[in-house]
Amino acid sequence: MAIDVTPLPPADAVRAFLARGNRLDPSFSWLDVWQEEHASMFTVAKSAGFDVLGDIYQAVQKSLAEGKTFRDFAGELTPTLQAKGWWGKQPVRDPQTGETVMGQLGSTRRLQTIFDANMRVSYAAGHWANFERNKKARPFLRYVHVEEQPHPRWQHHLWHNTVLPVDDPWWETHACPNGWGCKCTLQSLSQRDIDRLQRQGEKLKFEAPETTFTDWTNKRTGEVTRVPTGIDPGWAYNPGKAGYRVALAGADKLISAPPELAALANSDPTWLTKPLADEFSQWFDQAAAGGPLDRTMVTVGALDQKVLDALDRQDVRPQSGAITIDQRTVRHILRDAKGPQAVSAEDLRRLPELVAQPRAVLRDRRDGALLYIFDPADGSRYGKLVVRLDFSRRARENGGDRQTIVTNAVRTAGLVEDRVLTDANTYEVLSGSL
């Protein structure tokens, strides 16, 4: 029976990869970064001392979002790496030992490894996000072995058709990819799917295969690790689950991501509300309580593709896709909360939800500001969040160093009558309806 292993639409994969971009960490050896660490950072061996890691990250990000092939990836990236001297075998200094050794920098084969590993790990994170969302209806995962030629892995073949619950501990070490070049995949199943496969003659196995281990020594650290037989050292973890978890906390990377990627990452309107709901409400309460005012800025959402397309038709192209707010703005809105046009603190505390799922998004023809329209908790009139595009300010992104950051900033909020918003001479509807 033919198995459909076509990758899912890449939104979840892009989210996971964007989250890794929060840390571009040059390294000397692949042994310096271990297993789950890869989920929260991006690195390339022998990149330390060369200004190439950002170029490689951007090239992988573009390939992932646009569905580019390895030939496209290598063709666009190779001239940049060669111009910066990161190509061929060269003497490189090991920062750990101080020794200079001959090291393989860029090559077609290395780029193939970088491309394949990052693509497969990103798609694994996207798949795992889907498994989590659909776990109630499709509570099982099936291991599907895809032959690697010319050297198929017999252990992976033995794992083929293993069917276990999504939360079974076997997946913590055996969820693919399980090594360099591993093309195996996981398929989510319902009980009806299982019954159908068995009727079709598939010999499914409902117990976790016996796991044996081999001691393996990391030459860089001397640490001895027990590696499951059939899994390459460094791959004995669940890449998809690790990436999924990091992606849930990766909203702040949307600030520096291209707007189209931010929109793609935000294409599931429930994504940002999950990691941000509790975190934002706590941050909001601290801001509302008074005390010292800091310059922390937080991400509360992203412009979606419909809004970007509508703006593009007017030759408006925001520099960032992220929507943010700072403590000074929160206090400004709350100070105005006593008037008849005031938005309640209860509504403001659910800001990520309002941005992710607005009733409509309007553009003010007078000054270009966006209005995110929502239904207030008390049911009176409409609520509006006024978002200024390409708003520049000195702030700390997620508590980091103070810097000039350009985002789309929530500047004020209020209540408004529908007759005001339906004035076509003043407002243009970009998405949704009133």
Do 291 and 229 belong to one domain? no
- What token pair was written down for 147? 């032959």
Phi then psi for residue 362, to 5 deg, are: -115, 155
CA angle 321, 323, 329 (to 5 degrees): 150
Query: Which of 381, 368, 383 has the alpha carbon at shortest distance from 428?
Result: 368
In a domain, 258, yes or no: no
- Is residue 5 within 8 A of residue 185, CB to CB? The reply is yes
What is the reported pLDDT for 36?
76
Query: Which of 209, 230, 211 has the alpha carbon at shortest distance from 152?
Result: 230
Helix (H) or strand (E) holding 240: helix 239-248
Question: Could you give the CA distance from residue 40 to residue 246 in angstroms, rounded to a whole number?
Answer: 6
- How many residues make up the chain in this entry? 434
Residue 233 has pLDDT above 70, yes or no: yes
In a domain, 1, yes or no: no
Chosen domain end from 246, 279, 307: 246
Model pTM score: 0.69
Do 69 and 187 belong to one domain? yes
Chosen domain end from 184, 211, 246: 246
In a domain, 53, yes or no: yes
In a domain, 41, yes or no: yes
Do 134 and 215 belong to one domain? yes
In a domain, 253, yes or no: no
- The chain-wide mean pLDDT, for the chain, equals 85
Do 222 and 342 belong to one domain? no
Q: How does residue 56 score in pLDDT terms, banded at 50, 70 and 90?
A: very high
Chosen domain end from 187, 215, 246: 246
Instruction: Tell how strand 163-165 and strand 185-189 pair up.
Output: unpaired
In a domain, 96, yes or no: yes
Question: Could you give the CA distance from residue 44 to residue 24 in angstroms, rounded to a whole number?
Answer: 9
What is the reported pLDDT for 67?
87
pLDDT tens for each residue of 198-207: 999 999 999 9
Task: Determine how many CB atoms are found less than 10 A away from the CB of residue 68.
Answer: 18
Do 121 and 31 belong to one domain? yes
Range of the domain at 42: 11-246
What is the reported pLDDT for 340?
62
pLDDT tens for each residue of 163-198: 999 999 999 999 999 999 899 999 999 999 999 999
- Is residue 363 within 8 A of residue 370, CB to CB? The reply is yes
Do 152 and 297 belong to one domain? no
Do 240 and 273 belong to one domain? no
Do 306 and 396 belong to one domain? yes
pLDDT tens for each residue of 92-107: 888 888 888 898 999 9
CA distances from 363 to 36, 135, 156, 185, 425 (A): 43, 39, 54, 44, 11
What is the reported pLDDT for 339?
61
DSSP 357-400: S-SEEEEETTT--EEEEE--TT--SEEEEEEEEEEEEEEEETT-
Percentage of the chain lying above the pLDDT 90 cut: 45
pLDDT tens for each residue of 364-400: 999 999 999 998 876 668 999 999 999 987 665 555 5
Lowest-confidence region among 105-114, 260-269, 312-321: 260-269
DSSP 20-71: HTT-B--BS-GGGS-GGGGGG-B--BT-TTSTTHHHHHHHHHHHHHHT--HH
Query: Which of 151, 145, 161, 155 has the alpha carbon at shortest distance from 212?
Result: 155
- What token pair was written down for 254? 């949307």
What is the reported pLDDT for 58?
92
- Residue matched to tokens 């020794």: 99
In a domain, 73, yes or no: yes
In a domain, 312, yes or no: yes
Task: Determine how many CB atoms are found less than 10 A away from the CB of residue 324.
Answer: 25
Do 135 and 280 belong to one domain? no
Do 73 and 206 belong to one domain? yes
Q: How does residue 1 score in pLDDT terms, banded at 50, 70 and 90?
A: very low
Do 103 and 16 belong to one domain? yes
- Is residue 375 within 8 A of residue 354, CB to CB? The reply is no
Lowest-confidence region among 158-162, 288-292, 299-303: 288-292
The DSSP code for 343 is P
Do 281 and 206 belong to one domain? no
Query: What residues have CB less than 8 Å from 201, skipping those under 6 apart?
Result: none
What is the number of domains present in the chain? 2
Query: What residues have CB less than 8 Å from 350, skipping those under 6 apart?
Result: 277, 281
Question: Could you give the CA distance from residue 348 to residue 368 in angstroms, rounded to a whole number?
Answer: 23
